[in-house]
Amino acid sequence: MSKPVLFLLGPSASGKTELSLLLARRLNCEIVSADSMLVYRGMDIGTAKPGRAQQKKVRHHLIDIVPPRKNFSVYEHRKYALEKIQDILNRGKIPLIVGASGLYVEALWKGLSDHPGKNSKLRQKLIRHAREEGIAALYAKLEAKDPARAGQIHPHDEKRVVRALEIAASGKNTSAWHQKRESLEDLGYSVFAVALERDRADLYGRIDHRVEQMFKRGLLREVERLRKTGFSKTARQALGYREILKFYPLTQTLSPKGRGKGEGQDIIRLIQKHTRQFAKRQLTWLRREKEIRWIPWPRGESAESVCDKIIKEFKRKKVS
């Protein structure tokens, strides 16, 4: 397998971080994040960012590279990721791409196309529509015009919903938009991609537990600290941060660790609900990619055992 690039994919809370560290050590990898929110410095708890100790064990890239007040695009991410991939290979190691942000993973793996340019007049009209009627109404328009693209975008991601409607208005459908792209394979890399498959009830339980732990670790304090310097439109879309910022007065009824009663406690349940919905959309996107190998992770099975499965598949691909 010449110039191998590994992808470890899976929905939120599926265990990618723990598994990536094992894979990286056993296969001599460095990790390149394909998560749209891990690029932001200080957004640590709500993004489940690998801790300093974990980053010391294995070198990570594209984490903590911009402040939350700055917008960061998928185009910038792909540019930096391609540079890191080649650098890692030049040093005799294997790039391990870890993430679940469908747009970022797809752009890096499949490439970006020559899509229509900005239509400022239409964009402002769509933004006004979102402000007056709500983002849900705008997202419903996208679902009607381009359901495939809508399935790749969070319903509250105003920036991408507006951009997708701009493209749809140009007369190009999703398949046409993605025709002229330079994939990793086109660039001479050999891609091996796996996705973690967990029982749905188990996954949702892990998501609910992780959100509770985020509050116990101080998510409210983190958001309060970052509010002082400001969030860009992109950073504000992060799950957990978005809900706390939207319903900020209610969160004041909670203790710093998320304890409390009444409406404030509803914020935690809302974040859990939105994260489960997001995981469902992530799975929908992943299942469309026929080249991905699914690796089952039954409840109770160790990360080491799952790691063995992936390495076995990787070596088989490498030999073939």
Angle at CA 31, nearest 5°, toward 314 and 210?
100
pLDDT, position 51: 94
83 lies in which domain range?
Answer: 4-113+181-199+286-319
| CA dist., res. 236 & res. 102, Å (int) | 18
Shared-domain flag, residues 97 and 230: no
Residue 106's CATH number:
3.40.50.300
| CA dist., res. 272 & res. 244, Å (int) | 12
Closest Cα to residue 156, out of 172, 140, 168? 140
| CA dist., res. 281 & res. 295, Å (int) | 18
Count Cβ atoms within 10 A of the Cβ of residue 269 and give its class: 0-12 exposed, 13-18 middle, 19 or more buried. Answer: exposed
Shared-domain flag, residues 86 and 185: yes
What are the residue ranges of helices labelled H in 170-199?
174-177
Shared-domain flag, residues 25 and 104: yes
Shared-domain flag, residues 63 and 14: yes
pLDDT, position 175: 46
The total number of structural domains in the chain stands at: 3
Shared-domain flag, residues 188 and 58: yes
Shared-domain flag, residues 102 and 8: yes
Q: Is residue 281 part of a domain?
A: no
32 forms beta bridges with 61, 97
| CA dist., res. 83 & res. 29, Å (int) | 15
Q: Is residue 314 part of a domain?
A: yes
Residues 6+ apart with CB under 8 A from 215: 254, 257, 258, 268
For 41, 57, 61, 62, the CA distances from 85, given in Å and listed in that order, are 22, 19, 10, 11
Supply the DSSP string of 100-166, one letter for each residue. --HHHHHHHHH---------HHHHHHHHHHHHHH-HHHHHHHHHHH-HHHHTTS-TT-HHHHHHHHH
Q: pLDDT tens digits for the chain (320 residues)?
A: 579 999 999 999 999 999 999 999 999 999 999 999 999 999 999 999 999 999 999 999 999 999 999 999 999 999 999 999 999 999 999 999 999 888 899 999 999 865 555 667 788 888 888 888 888 888 888 888 888 888 878 888 888 888 888 888 877 655 455 455 689 999 999 999 999 999 999 999 999 999 999 999 999 999 999 988 999 989 999 999 999 988 876 565 555 555 545 555 688 999 999 999 999 999 999 998 899 999 999 999 999 999 999 999 998 876 45
Residues 6+ apart with CB under 8 A from 139: 150, 153, 155, 161
Shared-domain flag, residues 239 and 138: no
Shared-domain flag, residues 134 and 223: no
Shared-domain flag, residues 30 and 76: yes
Shared-domain flag, residues 82 and 17: yes
| CA dist., res. 221 & res. 225, Å (int) | 6
Q: Is residue 95 part of a domain?
A: yes
Chain centroid to CA 249: how far? Answer: 28
pLDDT, position 275: 97
pLDDT, position 100: 82
H helix or E strand, kind and range, residue 249: helix 248-251
| CA dist., res. 239 & res. 274, Å (int) | 7
Q: What is the pLDDT of residues 62-78, one digit of tens each?
A: 999 999 999 999 999 99
Q: Is residue 39 part of a domain?
A: yes
Could you say which DSSP state residue 71 is in?
A: -
pLDDT, position 16: 97
Residues 6+ apart with CB under 8 A from 206: 13, 14, 15, 198
Residue 136's CATH number:
1.10.20.140
